[in-house]
C-alpha cells in the first residue's frame, strides 16, 4: 500500500483515493481532429518510471490532485492540486510547523 501526500489532507492511505489516469491534456474541441481525439481517448505512455497522473481523493477532500509517482518503485515525488505548481494547503501548513493533519490533531 502506498501513502499519497494529499495537498489538502496530508498523507493518506492510497485506498482512500481513486486513480484517474495519466495526465493528458484534453484537445480543443473546436479544432481537434478525429485522430487527436483517438490519441486522447486511447493512447497512453504507460512508462516504467516517473509519471504525472491524476488521483481523486474519494474518501477525503473529494478533490482532484496531480501526483508525480515512480511506477516501478511507487515512490511519490510530489502531490499538488490539479493545475497548480505551488504547494497545497497541507504542505504550506507543515512548512509552518503545523502538521495540518486530522491524524495529528490530538483528541477532539
Note the residues at the interface with other proteins (CB under 8 A). 1, 14-15, 18-19, 21, 35, 38-39, 42-48, 71-74
* ∠ CA 37-42-45, rounded to 5°: 110
Q: Please, which residues have CB within 8 angstroms of residue 39's CB and are 6 or more apart in sequence?
A: none
In whole angstroms, the minimum distance from the beta carbon of 80 to other proteins comes to 18
Dig out the grid coordinates for 24 from the structure: 493528458
In whole angstroms, the minimum distance from the beta carbon of 41 to other proteins comes to 8
Which is nearer to other proteins, 74 or 84 (by Cβ)?
74
In whole angstroms, the minimum distance from the beta carbon of 68 to other proteins comes to 14
Dig out the grid coordinates for 99 from the structure: 502538521
Which is nearer to other proteins, 28 or 35 (by Cβ)?
35
Which is nearer to other proteins, 19 or 95 (by Cβ)?
19
Pairwise CA distance, residues 77 & 74, whole Å: 10
In whole angstroms, the minimum distance from the beta carbon of 103 to other proteins comes to 19
Which is nearer to other proteins, 63 or 70 (by Cβ)?
70
Q: Please, which residues have CB within 8 angstroms of residue 102's CB and are 6 or more apart in sequence?
A: 9, 10
Amino acid at each position: 500500500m502506498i501513502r499519497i501526500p494529499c495537498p489538502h489532507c496530508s498523507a493518506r492511505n492510497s485506498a482512500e483515493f481513486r486513480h484517474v489516469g495519466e495526465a493528458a491534456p484534453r484537445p480543443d474541441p473546436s479544432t481537434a481532429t478525429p485522430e487527436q481525439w483517438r490519441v486522447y481517448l486511447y493512447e497512453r505512455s504507460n512508462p516504467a518510471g516517473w509519471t504525472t497522473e491524476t488521483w481523486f481523493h474519494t474518501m477525503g477532500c473529494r478533490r482532484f490532485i496531480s501526483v508525480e509517482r515512480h511506477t516501478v518503485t511507487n515512490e511519490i515525488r510530489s502531490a499538488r492540486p490539479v493545475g497548480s505548481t505551488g504547494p497545497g494547503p497541507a504542505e504550506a501548513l507543515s512548512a509552518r510547523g503545523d502538521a495540518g493533519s486530522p491524524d495529528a490533531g490530538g483528541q477532539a
